[in-house]
């Protein structure tokens, strides 16, 4: 599989506000001056309580929304609208129910009009996520984990320079989720695509990322960055793992017994 050069992502004072539905004319600030930078090939997690603007930030990077002020770059290019360079996977796999697994995975190639040249890659990507046997099944036959693997393959087939993951494993049960974390890590190690993972699962963030950005709400800001300098595969019950856990929970003001245990 060809390895495409990944790109870094950089945000520079990004602000975004939305109108308040109950009070016309007033705006609520969702993001209040976000700045960060992610190196090419890095796997970074964005954690924080719900409503802190994680998903809003991801949508801005995907180009699905436009920021009020500040700038966003992928590599050296300013983000202006959605593009196949930036893949996005949601918590709901959002597979097109009218297409089979194969056609869902092909969708990006069809959309870009390159299906003809790249048809051979479809099989590779189905093999990569272990779904060859389900090529002709419709999404309603798939389990949650399988659907999410199709969604990953569908995003990866475009060889995006950045893959944005919006709580992609949030709807899965605990065991499937841990298996899928390994799967996503394997895809990342295999392809070295830059990944930005939004999650509310602190263990997931520590287990997977090179670096964690902690966001706080009202308005959403990046409060803290934590480098996770542990070798992979990581031990979910190791002392240093639990230390990071306590540190992050403490930062989000959930520290209590957990922090004490981890020390």
For another protein, give the closer residue by CB, 90 or 207: 90
Pick from 13, 103, 64, 50: nearest CA to 252: 50
> Per CB under 8 A, does 9 bind another protein?
no
User: By CB neighbour count within 10 A (0-12 exposed, 13-18 middle, 19+ buried), where does 80 fall?
Assistant: exposed
- The count of other CB atoms within 10 Å of the CB of residue 123 is 13
> Per CB under 8 A, does 73 bind another protein?
no
> Per CB under 8 A, does 107 bind another protein?
yes
> Per CB under 8 A, does 21 bind another protein?
no
For another protein, give the closer residue by CB, 155 or 248: 155
What is the closest distance, in whole angstroms, from the C-beta atom of residue 64 to another protein in the complex? 5
Alpha helix ranges (H) inside 166-201: 174-191
Q: How many angstroms separate the CA atoms of 11 and 37, rounded?
A: 6
SS3 30: strand
Q: Please count the residues of the chain.
A: 263
Pick one of 17, 83, 176, 240: the residue that binds another protein (CB under 8 A). 83
Residues 139-158 interacting with another protein (rule: CB under 8 A) = 139-140, 154-155, 158
Which spans of this chain sit near another protein (rule: CB under 8 A)? 59, 62-64, 82-84, 86-88, 90, 92, 94, 96-99, 107-108, 110-112, 138-140, 154-155, 158, 164
């Amino acid at each position: 599989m060809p390895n495409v050069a990944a790109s870094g992502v950089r945000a520079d004072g990004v602000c975004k506000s939305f109108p308040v539905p109950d009070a016309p004319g007033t705006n609520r600030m969702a993001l209040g001056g976000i700045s960060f930078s992610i190196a090419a090939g890095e796997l970074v997690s964005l954690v924080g309580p719900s409503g802190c603007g994680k998903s809003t930030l991801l949508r801005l990077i995907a180009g699905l929304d436009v920021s009020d002020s500040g700038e966003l770059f992928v590599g050296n290019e300013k983000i202006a609208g959605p593009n196949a360079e930036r893949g996005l996977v949601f918590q709901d796999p959002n597979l097109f129910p009218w297409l089979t697994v194969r056609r869902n995975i092909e969708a990006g190639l069809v959309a870009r009009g390159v299906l003809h040249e790249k048809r051979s890659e479809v099989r590779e990507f189905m093999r990569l996520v272990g779904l060859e046997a389900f090529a002709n099944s419709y999404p309603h036959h798939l389990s949650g984990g399988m659907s999410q693997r199709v969604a990953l393959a569908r995003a990866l087939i475009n060889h995006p320079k950045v893959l944005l993951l919006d709580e992609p494993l949030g709807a899965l049960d605990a065991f499937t989720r841990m298996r899928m974390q390994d799967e996503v890590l394997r895809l990342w190690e295999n392809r070295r695509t830059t990944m930005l993972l939004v999650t509310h699962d602190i263990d997931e963030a520590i287990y997977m990322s090179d670096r964690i950005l902690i966001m706080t709400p009202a308005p959403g800001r990046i409060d803290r960055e934590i480098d996770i300098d542990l070798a992979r595969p990581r031990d979910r019950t190791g002392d240093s793992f639990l230390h990071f856990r306590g540190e992050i929970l403490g930062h989000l003001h959930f520290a209590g017994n957990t922090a004490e245990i981890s020390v």
